[in-house]
Structure 1
Amino acid sequence: MSILISGSVAIDIILEFGGRFADHILPEQIDKLSVSFLAPQMRSDYGGCAGNIAYALKQLGGTPLPLASVGRDGGHYLDRLRQLGISTAHVAVLQDCYTAQCTIVTDQQQNQITAFHPGAMSQAHLNPVPTDTPITLAMVSPNGKEAMQQHARQLHAAGIPFVFDPGQGLPLFNGEELQQLVDLATWVTVNDYEAHLLCERLGYDRAALSRQLRGLAVTLGEHGCEVWVDGACREVPPVAAAAVVDPTGCGDAWRGALLYGLEQGWDLVRCAKLGNYLGALKIAHRGPQNYQPDPQVVAGY
């Protein structure tokens, strides 16, 4: 049985600027900003929420089924997924656009300037949930707005339990739209900032939100996470990272562990403990899909 992951598949372009943005931006000229940064260090990573979560789940021994869209330039990404043993049967290839691309310039103070081109992600709603495929569990992660809404409705109608992970897509929705998605979901997972924004737009707190679901998980970065079930909060301590190299994709690694645990029938606290381990492992590696968990450590959870 597969775990469906609705979300983005993207290419991350990371550029490193050796100076400080602040030294090149004049506040009095901000209304006609035109700057250029020399970035001698560059790397290209496979990314996107669906791709990253699928990678994490596969590393743990799960069977991910990404539901996503790529453009005419996405062939090498599909080849990589297949080499990892991840099905691409439901990754649509759209010839009239590019794969989603995220370009990030980071200065020496870890400030970032980011430009995101959604590309094929904007048409992900044209790729429906394959309800004729054996699916035990699913996640609706950041994607095109219409895709997130349609896939949530399709999963609910098919009786497939799913995690709603609004992530960076959260600002796209108003309170009424978010409530509709919460009503369809089985679980919700967000980071601390997203939890504040989500509750603000819904008009109630985390305890009240958790009472509408089987559970709410709030990741807190280096401080671990919170697990809310039926209005009660349980704090799950962090796992110390061997090194802090690159935070990109840590949240997706955590979500892959969440899906793995839920499929095993674990409670949310146990899932969160594994998620904290996988997030700590990922942050010690550069890129969102370049880490391998220790099977013996995983078995200990």
Structure 2
Amino acid sequence: MRIAVTGSIATDHLMRFQGRFVDQILPDKLDHVSLSFLVDDLQVRRGGVASNIAFGLGQLGLRPVLVGAVGRDFEEYDEWLRRHGVDTHSLHTSRAQHTARFLCTTDDDGNQIASFYAGAMSEASAIDLGAVSQHVGGLDLVLVGANDPEAMLRHTHDCRTAGLPFAADPSQQLARLQGDAIRDLVTGAEYLFTNEYEATLLLIKTGWTADDVLARVSTWVTTLGRKGCRIQQQGERAIEVSAVPVTEAEAPTGVGDGFRAGFLAALAWGLTSTRAAQLGCAVAANVLCASGPQEYQLDGNELLSLCRSSYGPETAYDLSRRLSHLR
């Protein structure tokens, strides 16, 4: 199964605030917010939702096609991704813009305040997914992730025109997108990925009910943080999958991307959505224990051990053929 991952490609500047944002916010002054947080740590990491997901898929033995726009400052990052099994030949390189930047501060409660500079990402709408599919010999699934809004709409249109199955993953861009655009991005998706907050925001902005969404997508996957995830299909009882317990969490940035990598990899191996969610949670736990969204290394035996202890021997058995060779 050949998977293309579209979306943002960025460098992350991750900071830690020793305190709680909520303690610094005055409810009666929300119309004139002027806050500065003194942070105790700064880490510069490779990131972006598309490259994070592709990195995870590459570690799981797939060769995902990364689709997005980058700047001429991307050479070192490009080499890193290729070493980890990612096909980067379909990237668009801007002549004028830097690769995107993500700046994020996390407090002691795990809450985050972030800013995103699009840079080269603003040119992603120039990419023709039909041409990409022809170049790589066909695609079995395209994940349309958070990106320049025009690029997200074009990629979704390209998938429909070329008959390519797609997964809708609007995530961070839901705050910016209007209802009509969200409805266009979601309708006809094989999979819809949201977190719990995004799921509510999607319903508010589209005016849909949950049943309306399920009438338009095949499978809706909602991540629930420490509670795991929920899988919904029209006419079926929702499936709840618990998270893999983590005792020493580092930072939440990129955890959802790790989940998606595990989920998509299991689908590529022909496994059920339940097994896909379980592997997704196991990969997410590895990301949560690392200091950045691409600072983890997956080991097949460790993943099997996590899945066995969290979900039982049947899950480990179903995953063993694909994971036992990973080192």
TM-score by length of 1: 0.90
User: How far did residue 36 of structure 1 move?
Assistant: 5.4
Aligned-residue sequence identity (percent) comes to 36
Q: CA deviation at 1:294?
A: 2.9
More off after superposition, 179-188 vs 245-254 = 179-188
Q: 1:267 to 1:33 in 2, by over 3 A?
A: closer
Q: Which residue of 1 aligns with 2:298?
A: 293
Letter in 2 for 1:206: A
1:238 aligns with 2:243: yes
84-93 or 4-13: bigger deviation: 84-93
Check 1:125–1:108 CA distance in 2 against 1; reply closer, same or farther (3 A cut): same
Cα deviation, residue 26, structure 1:
8.2
Aligned in 2, Cα 1:209/1:73: closer, same or farther, shift over 3 Å?
same
Q: How many residues align?
A: 301
User: Which residue matches 1:265?
Assistant: 270
Q: After alignment, is 23-32 or 85-94 more displaced?
A: 23-32
Map 1:40-59 to 2 at 5 A: 41-59=41-59
- Residue 211 of structure 2 aligns with an amino acid whose one-letter code is A
**Structure 2 gaps, min length 5:** 305-315, 320-327
Unaligned runs of 5+ residues in structure 1 are: none
- 2:311 alignment partner in structure 1: none
RMSD: 2.4
Deviation at 1:35, TM superposition (A): 6.0
Describe how 1:77-92 pairs up with structure 2 within 5 A. Answer: 77-92=77-92
Decide which moves more: 1-10 or 138-147: 1-10
Q: Alpha-carbon deviations, 1:89-124, whole Å to 9, x = none?
A: 011111201111012234556554422211011111
Counterpart of 2:183?
Answer: 179
Within a 5 Å distance, the mapping from 1:54-203 to structure 2 comes to 54-107=54-107, 110=110, 112-129=112-129, 130-132=132-134, 133=136, 134-203=138-207
Residue in structure 1 matching 2:258, options 247, 253, 261:
253
> What per-residue deviation string (whole Å, max 9, x for no partner) do you get for residues 215-262 of structure 1?
111110110111001243111122112421111101000111121122
Tell me which of the two structures has the higher relative contact order, counting C-alpha pairs closer than 8 angstroms and 6 or more residues apart: 1
Structure 2 residue matching 1:148: 3-state secondary structure: helix
> For residues 283 and 291 of structure 2, what CA distance do their matches in structure 1 show?
14
**C-alpha deviation, 1:79, in angstroms:** 1.6
**42-51 or 153-162: which moved more?**
153-162
Partner of 1:276: 281
1:195/1:218 contact within 8 Å kept: yes
More strand by share: 1
Separation of aligned partners in 1, 2:119 and 2:227: 35
